[in-house]
Structure 1
Amino acid sequence: MSNIPETGRTTRVTVRLVAIQILVFSLLLTLGGRLWYLQIRNGDEYSDEAASNHVQQVIQPATRGSILDARGVPLADNETRLVVSASRTDLMKMKDDGKAVLTRLADVLDMTPKEVMDKVRLCDSETPQPCWNGSPYQPIPITDEATTQQALQIRERAEDFPGISAEPTPVRRYAAPAESNAAQVLGYLSPVTDDEIKEAEDSESPLLRSDQIGRSGLERAYDAQLRGKAGVTRYEVDNLGRVIGQRESDKAQPGANLVTSIDSRVQAVAEKELHLAMKEARKVHDKNTGTNYKADAGAVVVMEAKTGRVVAMASNPTYDPNAWVGGISAKDYKKLTGKDSNFPLLNRAIQGQAAPGSIFKVIPTAAAVNAGYPFNGSYPCPSSYSIGGQVFKNFESKGHGSITLGQALEVSCDTVYYGLAHKQWQKDGGVDPKKNPADWFYKTAHQFGLGKETGIDLPNEVTGRVPDRQWKKNYWKANQKAWCKNGKKDGDYAERIAYENCLEGMKMRAGDAVNYSIGQGDTLVTPIQMATIYGAISNGGTLYNPTVGKAIVSSDGKKVDEIKPKSHGKLPMDAKTRKLIDDALAGVATRGTAAWRFGGWPQDKIPMHAKTGTAEVYGKQTTSWFATYTKDYAIVMTISQGGTGSGASGPAVRNIYNALYGIDKDGKIDKKKALLYQPQAKLPKIEADGTIDAQPVGKPYVAVGLGGRREDQ
């Protein structure tokens, strides 16, 4: 028997009962508090979340706005196609991840199973194209070129194709009017990514998972205006997925239309002339290398001189932007991005950088005048110029005696600019400069807008380079270790240069100054920069921000926002100097280095001004440059590894002017044949229903031989 008294045993039981009661009460109190928190304190929030779990959204994509040329002709619009799509979510629920379904689908679409399966895999850093870089919850398009018979097979045998849809869908179309391409100007679309959706959450134009957005060109620059706003229909459903009601929905709002300053007819001419000029250049023998010129890339810009509006912009090599519609194939993606592609996605008019050669000379001419050297002074033009033991030769080693700065522009005398740049370099202190050197030649280049973006309304413009003293210091700091490691005093050319740069690469040497004065050395420009400069010389001195967009027109036509020309500065010269340079450039076209390309030109009616350029590039053949302007237009063309400026680019530029002004081979003007005798001032007519009245395009431009007249056939 237990020796514990009865009273002690009772006390212990009582304590236990009390403890259990306290524990139960505590649990009930905790549970009650939690229920109060969930149902009262945060009741509305959880109620909304619960309701949303039973709401399904159906997205109606907005119709993307069209991109139109200056006459209302569609450059990019939409067309209805039969689109076959796959729901990755449904496929992943299948035991084989949908492989059997996709294999059957491939057979219907006349594709290989691999082609179809590659389309639905998700993109990441290790997955090559084709792949899907949009939301994994969004239907993934397999093809936008399905036939009616293929679509019917899929829909009538729905049990064999779970997760597969075949629907008529509006898709982007790049129309290529007059056989113009304009790929780099227009850009292309691809699906939105989750990161982009998150970034745009608080913006004025949020993104939906179904959206396609612009990736380059105008499609990217004006994406928010073109995209519109997708419609969303919200359905209430029960836990079995049955619709039990409809909630408030948002109607789709179509995107606005973008009217550009591009004339599709002139664009076609520019593209074909550039292509033909490159083709012809490859037939010419380069005596320096012993082979024909490679002419591997080029660009041309046609700009309104008085506004900066771009009438045509061509880049070569190019591509078909329709390749991106519905998802790009592996074959096409490799063509566009492979190491042998020569990067056709680049817009070389705004992203191609090269030494400008002699078309740069308008800048040191203005710099010399600003530094106090008289324009009509007398300057020696010997066949060569020596600095220490280094000899800098004139082009083709010709001498012209003593000439003015205007004559130096006409005959493109290098040694005049060598002498001026060398003297100014010495005045500024040479390799040990004064505390505040004047640096007129570099300062003036910056004032012309070089070394920075022009502000064109296209993405990814590059800045070019003005190799002034500060750039030299920065470049030396970045490369000193590599130079000192690889440089050899008695090595090959590259090793000797590295050795010299290791020791004093931060200093501005005499050779740097004289090379820079003729657009050589480390100087880099883009075609759009030079077109802006030559346009400014034409218009009286205003440097305009180049623009391609001309107006944004709402889908109903009621709202028109015109994009007005804007200026980013004035040329650093007075009216007298500008007039003298203008006269000299007219002399280039009539009696100077470009005269042989403008024989028979109606100079009395349409004064032509020009400057040729042949830039040397280490390890490559020379770059061809041709810069020109009239009272209406500035045209600049460049061809990489194409030879001389007047030789390779000159004939093509002349033929673009012939087409613009309607000039025949005898120099007679026929305004009826002119594509754009004067720049297009007015916007195309907008009808009451919002449609834009497009003017006829005419027949495609046909090239009939370099140097001859191109006509609409």
Structure 2
Amino acid sequence: MTSLPGTRTSRVTVRLIALQILVFSLLLTLGGRLWYLQIRNGEEYANEARSNHVQQVIDPATRGAILDARGVPLADNQTRLVVSASRTELLKMKDDGKAVLGRLAKVLGMSEKEIRNKVRLCDSKTPQPCWNGSPYQPIPITDEATTQQALQIRERAEEFPGISAEPTAVRRYPSPVDANTAQVLGYLSPVTDEEIQKAKNSNSPFLRSDQIGRSGLERRYDEYLRGKAAVTRYEVDNLGRVIGQAKSDKGQAGSSLITSIDARVQAIAEKQLDQAMKEARKQMDRNTGTNYKADSGAVVVMEAKTGRVVAMASNPSYDPNAWVGGISGKDYARLTGKSSNYPLLNRAIQGQAAPGSIFKVVSTAASVNAGYDFNGSYPCTSSYSIGGQTFMNFEGQGHGSINLGRALEVSCDTVFYRLGHEEWKKDGGDKPKKDAHDWFYKTAHQFGLGKETGIDLPNEVSGRVPDRRWKNAFWEANKDAWCAQAKAWPKKKDFHTKLAREGCLEGMKLHAYDSINYAIGQGDTLVTPIQMATIYAALSNGGTLYNPSVGKAIVSPDGKDIKTIKPTSHGRLPVTPATLRQMDAALAGVAERGTAAWRFQGWPQDKIPMHAKTGTAEVYGKQTTSWFATYTKDYTIVMTISQGGTGSGASGPAVRNIYNALYGVDEEGNIHQDAALLPKPQAGLPKIESDGTIAAQPIKPYRLPTPSPSPSESPQ
């Protein structure tokens, strides 16, 4: 059957119309896309196109120094011979520079693979090591080249095209008089792509070549220390050849940070903490039959009237120079592995533990605030019992009826057990009243516990005040796990199953034993050394709770702009002047005739009144934590040693030796003014020269003064 001519014509017409519609649609789409690219987003893409032909070379700024209170460098810059490779020059060679890198490897004593990895560019698929900066910038291969290696490269330049060996400033942590100061200073590492994007629109954007502070002062004051890098921009063609120079930015060196740290006192504090831990490991723990582990510790030396930190040590520690030039995988594993005990932690601000009896100053203030008479009579019995549970006084000793001041002196647990229990009952016990006063918990918050002190160091932790609110929140977070574990009861009656069952059923309640343990700084209470140093400094200065600070002043490179960092306060102790005087006298009694007296025998109490409080905190599954909190009119020193034993036993001698160094006191109590490191806090700044140089005062290792001969003796 044949088709009619008209039918064939209509089919052709339909096809032509469809083809015309398709062509028109394609043209319309193309036109729309051209409008989008050239008109709507034209300027954006034009800028990107222009930037593709402008490459920048970064000359990093010299990072500002970190100095102690006397101008002695704690962190500065050292000139090293840095060997770098120009990737642009290497790629112009037929073999992409493989032969040159091979010869360079032999000179530097490195493997060819190691060097090739360092000059390759980073991307999402390329693992470290690789270069994250501009491909037009010299890529550093090593900053530890010897003079001989540098001379070989420079004298045989024809064999090493694209390779340079130049002196360059790199970060250095000199540890003056062996003052390591690692956790306070922190360390540097290269900026990441994520950080670059995040800071893109900020007042202090990052460049790919930047090294930034990762912890400590290096991080807290990074924007001042980093300075501004010089940026030279080159116009290049599609082949990467330089065809001109665009607008460039001048660089500016970083500012210097003067701290309140005294390198001499810092060295003493580190040494004494380390020695105290070693001595503790020689002592037998009567509870376990083994020696104390003394696995970590911290000490803080603070100006009592300002909150400025004179020394801060944390143990175990590390060498911050390990991070300079990039840390090796072996060193990183050594600093972060489970067996390392985490030396990167600053335990002065990040170490949390139950405070034991040094917490009793809080309980004393809470008792007075709750209406108890400071000079009232309170039974110090050998034990205190409730509901079938007996809570013992330390070593089961009783002292008869005593006032609160004497309770602090002899550190009587049972006095505070009773007061904590009575207040718990007044507030409704297991069924709290709506208007419960919770004086013991409220006062702790007013003392600044349970929150950060505001020290100018990153990553401070807040500790914990285990009040009713915390107790309920903790139960909500853990009840499901507790109840699941409790299903094994009564077939399993081990301690953990029993504890889980109790938590499942009543974990939201604040029990009597919670308040009893809390009253002596035990149970779920957690504090940091810096928090307790802040509290004891306030007891010394009349009640002001200062924000601890390490930074003292920021000085511009030319020395003309000096930004002083003034002490600031976050509140006052919730005690009356009368109560404060009574507590002050009691703490002096601790050093004279109380639990710390044996550590301060011979101390010149009439000339430099000493105040102290000892603490021995029990931790389930571990040995006791040693605490020793002290103050004079000038300084506060708090030391703690985890699993170290008693407060005065483990930490006492070390704290005494730090005071000896500060005031120049020998073991017989004689004061040697010429040997005293810092008999008064340093108020001013070191001398700043007209060219911006900060003059460092002479520094010598401290030598403990020898006792003066008695009148009947003659010098040997």
TM-score by length of 2: 0.90
Partner of 1:636: 638
Q: How do 1:36-51 and structure 2 match up within 5 A?
A: 48-51=47-50
Sort the Cα spacing of 1:584 and 1:27 in 2 relative to 1 into closer, same or farther, 3 A.
closer
1:526-571, CA deviations, whole angstroms, 9 ceiling, x for partnerless residues?
0000000000000000000000001111111111111111100100
Native 8 Å contact 2:661 2:704 kept in 1: no
**Structure 1 residue 143, shift from structure 2 partner:** 2.8
Sort the Cα spacing of 1:96 and 1:462 in 2 relative to 1 into closer, same or farther, 3 A.
farther
- Which SS does the other structure have where 2:367 is aligned? helix
- Which SS does the other structure have where 2:340 is aligned? coil
Sort the Cα spacing of 1:404 and 1:636 in 2 relative to 1 into closer, same or farther, 3 A.
same
The alignment covers a number of residue pairs equal to 702
- Which SS does the other structure have where 1:483 is aligned? helix
Sort the Cα spacing of 1:168 and 1:500 in 2 relative to 1 into closer, same or farther, 3 A.
same
Partner of 1:553: 555
1: CA distance, partners of 2:671 / 2:81: 49
* One-letter amino acid of the structure 1 residue matched with residue 234 of structure 2: Y
Moved more, 27-36 or 685-694: 27-36
**Structure 1 residue 237, shift from structure 2 partner:** 3.1
Native 8 Å contact 1:200 1:207 kept in 2: yes
Native 8 Å contact 1:188 1:214 kept in 2: yes
- Which SS does the other structure have where 2:287 is aligned? coil
* One-letter amino acid of the structure 1 residue matched with residue 245 of structure 2: Q
Check if 1:574 corresponds to 2:576. Answer: yes
Partner of 1:146: 145
Sort the Cα spacing of 1:339 and 1:301 in 2 relative to 1 into closer, same or farther, 3 A.
same
* One-letter amino acid of the structure 1 residue matched with residue 358 of structure 2: I
1: CA distance, partners of 2:280 / 2:635: 25
Native 8 Å contact 2:664 2:705 kept in 1: no
**Structure 1 residue 243, shift from structure 2 partner:** 3.5
**Structure 1 residue 395, shift from structure 2 partner:** 0.3
Native 8 Å contact 1:305 1:634 kept in 2: yes
Sort the Cα spacing of 1:458 and 1:133 in 2 relative to 1 into closer, same or farther, 3 A.
farther
**Which sections of structure 1, spanning at least 5 residues, go unmatched?**
705-713
1:1-38, CA deviations, whole angstroms, 9 ceiling, x for partnerless residues?
xx999xxx999999999999999999999989988887
2: CA distance, partners of 1:572 / 1:125: 56
Check if 1:265 corresponds to 2:256. Answer: no
1:303-342, CA deviations, whole angstroms, 9 ceiling, x for partnerless residues?
0000000000000000000000000112211110111000
2: CA distance, partners of 1:29 / 1:357: 80
Partner of 2:333: 334
1: CA distance, partners of 2:33 / 2:498: 79
**Structure 1 residue 51, shift from structure 2 partner:** 3.5
2: CA distance, partners of 1:347 / 1:114: 37
Sort the Cα spacing of 1:25 and 1:447 in 2 relative to 1 into closer, same or farther, 3 A.
closer
2: CA distance, partners of 1:123 / 1:525: 44
Sort the Cα spacing of 1:619 and 1:28 in 2 relative to 1 into closer, same or farther, 3 A.
closer
Sort the Cα spacing of 1:556 and 1:391 in 2 relative to 1 into closer, same or farther, 3 A.
same
2: CA distance, partners of 1:525 / 1:502: 26
Sort the Cα spacing of 1:17 and 1:399 in 2 relative to 1 into closer, same or farther, 3 A.
closer
1:588-611, CA deviations, whole angstroms, 9 ceiling, x for partnerless residues?
000000000001111111100000
- Which SS does the other structure have where 1:444 is aligned? helix
Check if 1:235 corresponds to 2:241. Answer: no
**Structure 1 residue 146, shift from structure 2 partner:** 1.2
**Structure 1 residue 157, shift from structure 2 partner:** 6.3
Moved more, 159-168 or 438-447: 159-168
Sort the Cα spacing of 1:250 and 1:399 in 2 relative to 1 into closer, same or farther, 3 A.
same
Partner of 2:598: 596
Native 8 Å contact 1:60 1:231 kept in 2: yes
**Structure 1 residue 242, shift from structure 2 partner:** 4.1
Check if 1:450 corresponds to 2:452. Answer: no
Check if 1:676 corresponds to 2:675. Answer: no
**Structure 1 residue 501, shift from structure 2 partner:** 1.4
Native 8 Å contact 2:443 2:574 kept in 1: yes
Partner of 2:298: 299
- Which SS does the other structure have where 2:644 is aligned? coil
Tell me which of 622, 625, 630 is aligned to 2:624: 622
Native 8 Å contact 1:141 1:326 kept in 2: no
Partner of 2:515: 513
* One-letter amino acid of the structure 2 residue matched with residue 53 of structure 1: N
1:631-672, CA deviations, whole angstroms, 9 ceiling, x for partnerless residues?
000000000010000011000000000000111122111221
Moved more, 343-352 or 488-497: 488-497
Partner of 2:506: 504
Native 8 Å contact 1:273 1:703 kept in 2: no
Partner of 1:710: none
Sort the Cα spacing of 1:165 and 1:400 in 2 relative to 1 into closer, same or farther, 3 A.
same
**Structure 1 residue 169, shift from structure 2 partner:** 1.8
Alpha-carbon RMSD across the aligned residues, in angstroms, is 3.6
Sort the Cα spacing of 1:154 and 1:268 in 2 relative to 1 into closer, same or farther, 3 A.
same
Native 8 Å contact 2:256 2:555 kept in 1: yes
Q: How do 1:100-249 and structure 2 match up within 5 A?
A: 105-111=104-110, 131=129, 134-135=132-133, 141-154=140-153, 166-249=165-248
Native 8 Å contact 2:131 2:139 kept in 1: no
Sort the Cα spacing of 1:421 and 1:229 in 2 relative to 1 into closer, same or farther, 3 A.
same
Moved more, 314-323 or 687-696: 687-696
* One-letter amino acid of the structure 2 residue matched with residue 556 of structure 1: D
**Structure 1 residue 56, shift from structure 2 partner:** 2.3
1:386-428, CA deviations, whole angstroms, 9 ceiling, x for partnerless residues?
1111110000110001000000000000000001011111111
2: CA distance, partners of 1:509 / 1:468: 11
- Which SS does the other structure have where 1:340 is aligned? helix
Partner of 1:493: 495
Partner of 2:712: none
Partner of 2:588: 586
**Structure 1 residue 498, shift from structure 2 partner:** 1.8
1: CA distance, partners of 2:609 / 2:161: 69
Q: How do 1:247-286 and structure 2 match up within 5 A?
A: 247-286=246-285
2: CA distance, partners of 1:117 / 1:95: 16
Sort the Cα spacing of 1:36 and 1:203 in 2 relative to 1 into closer, same or farther, 3 A.
closer
Q: Percent identity?
A: 76
- Which SS does the other structure have where 1:627 is aligned? strand
2: CA distance, partners of 1:36 / 1:470: 62
Native 8 Å contact 1:89 1:136 kept in 2: no
2: CA distance, partners of 1:270 / 1:303: 12
1: CA distance, partners of 2:681 / 2:480: 53
Partner of 1:662: 664
- Which SS does the other structure have where 1:631 is aligned? coil
**Structure 1 residue 58, shift from structure 2 partner:** 1.3
Sort the Cα spacing of 1:21 and 1:688 in 2 relative to 1 into closer, same or farther, 3 A.
same
**Structure 1 residue 153, shift from structure 2 partner:** 4.1
1: CA distance, partners of 2:157 / 2:667: 65
1: CA distance, partners of 2:15 / 2:470: 86
**Structure 1 residue 165, shift from structure 2 partner:** 5.0
Native 8 Å contact 1:384 1:397 kept in 2: yes
Native 8 Å contact 1:133 1:193 kept in 2: no
Sort the Cα spacing of 1:159 and 1:574 in 2 relative to 1 into closer, same or farther, 3 A.
same
Partner of 2:567: 565
Partner of 2:692: 690
Sort the Cα spacing of 1:293 and 1:122 in 2 relative to 1 into closer, same or farther, 3 A.
farther
Native 8 Å contact 1:269 1:701 kept in 2: no
Native 8 Å contact 1:272 1:703 kept in 2: no
2: CA distance, partners of 1:16 / 1:361: 97
**Structure 1 residue 434, shift from structure 2 partner:** 1.0
Partner of 1:707: none
Native 8 Å contact 1:71 1:684 kept in 2: yes
2: CA distance, partners of 1:72 / 1:206: 30
1: CA distance, partners of 2:13 / 2:476: 86
2: CA distance, partners of 1:219 / 1:17: 74
Native 8 Å contact 1:134 1:192 kept in 2: no
Partner of 2:710: none
1: CA distance, partners of 2:428 / 2:536: 32
Q: How do 1:315-464 and structure 2 match up within 5 A?
A: 315-464=314-463
* One-letter amino acid of the structure 1 residue matched with residue 501 of structure 2: Y
1: CA distance, partners of 2:382 / 2:521: 18
